[in-house]
Amino acid sequence: MCSPASQTCELRAIDAGIDGPMIDASDAAIDAPPNVPALQQQITNYVATGASLSATLPATPTSGDVLVMIGATPAGALTSVTGGSASWTLATRSTVNANIEMWYAVADGSSPTVTIARTSNATVMWLAVSEWSGLTTPVVLDDSIATSGTTSPASAGSIATTGPALVLFGVADGSPNTFGAPAPGTWTLMTGIAGADVQNEWYRVATSAGTFAPSVTETAHVWDAAIAAFHYTP
């Protein structure tokens, strides 16, 4: 308390013994930013012929983050996905035309290298690996679907989320090919892959439950598409 007459100040009794500023715990909670999924890093790779293919992220993923692999070989379903986690789970796949598969795993901080394999494969393989923070673990997959087609636009079908989610959409197609922009909604383009087949991936963060059925124009007309949603808690 300060006195205008004496021009002196002294602590109030209630303040005595307090060494620092008082913080209202409720205010601190209100000021904390909401949790939002974030893309930490990504990498792609392609091989003209091989039974396995690896991609090494720039840095070792943080333990507890979620790894997503989107890739395939037109020869058929992948035999395995390994690296960066104790185990990988198939989210969805379509193996009719160019082929596309989505797999996910919770990173254990062991390695930045992810490897896909198909026994006795003798044709092209490709993969796109991404690391995501802010997703709910260990239960992360909300909904997923995949399908194929021979006319434009390409669409994996429709999924319905139960709450906030990171939604990933991927399309693999023949080459040469030109993709448009997915619609409806706003989607962020990730690193694509070009070779004898091509693949593009996109994502969006949905802050509430909803239905998602994006489509994208393409020009090769031999596509497979996949979409998957992963939980997060704001």
The domain limits of the chain are 35-231
Q: What is the per-residue pLDDT across 30-51, written as a single tens digit (0 to 9) for each?
A: 677 899 999 999 999 999 999 9
Contact by Cβ (8 Å): 164, 135: no
Q: pTM of the prediction?
A: 0.87
Q: What is the per-residue pLDDT across 79-101, written as a single tens digit (0 to 9) for each?
A: 999 999 999 999 999 999 999 99
pLDDT interval class at 21 (50, 70, 90): low
Pick from 115, 104, 101, 30: nearest CA to 72 = 101
In angstroms, the Cα distances linking 122 to 9, 52, 75, 125 are 84, 10, 8, 9
Q: What is the per-residue pLDDT across 159-191, written as a single tens digit (0 to 9) for each?
A: 999 999 999 999 999 999 999 999 999 999 999
Contact by Cβ (8 Å): 155, 100: no
E strands, 107-175, where? Answer: 113-117, 125-133, 141-149, 154-155, 159-160, 165-174
Write down the pLDDT at residue 3.
Answer: 55
Question: What is the C-alpha end-to-end distance of the chain, expressed in Å?
Answer: 43
User: 26 — phi, psi (to 5°)?
Assistant: -65, -35
* High-pLDDT (> 90) share of the chain, %: 85
Query: Does the pLDDT at position 209 exceed 60?
Result: yes
Q: State the chain's mean pLDDT as an integer.
A: 92
Contact by Cβ (8 Å): 115, 81: yes
Residue with tokens 């904390």: 32
Q: How are the residues of the chain apportioned to helix, strand and coil, as percentages rounded to the nearest 5?
A: 5, 45, 50
Pick from 174, 196, 210, 57: nearest CA to 227 = 210
Residue 43 identity: I
Query: Does the pLDDT at position 144 exceed 70?
Result: yes
Non-local CB neighbours of 208 within 8 Å, separated by 6+ positions: 163, 164
Long-range CB contacts (< 8 A, 24+ apart) of 154-157? Answer: 154/215, 154/216, 154/217, 154/218, 154/223, 154/225, 155/213, 155/214, 155/215, 155/216, 155/225, 156/92, 156/94, 156/213, 156/214, 156/225, 156/226, 156/227, 157/213, 157/225, 157/227
Distance CA 133, CA 151 (A): 36
Tokens at residue 140, please? Answer: 């992360």
For 228-234, what is the mean pLDDT? 97
Write down the pLDDT at residue 14.
Answer: 47
Write down the pLDDT at residue 24.
Answer: 55
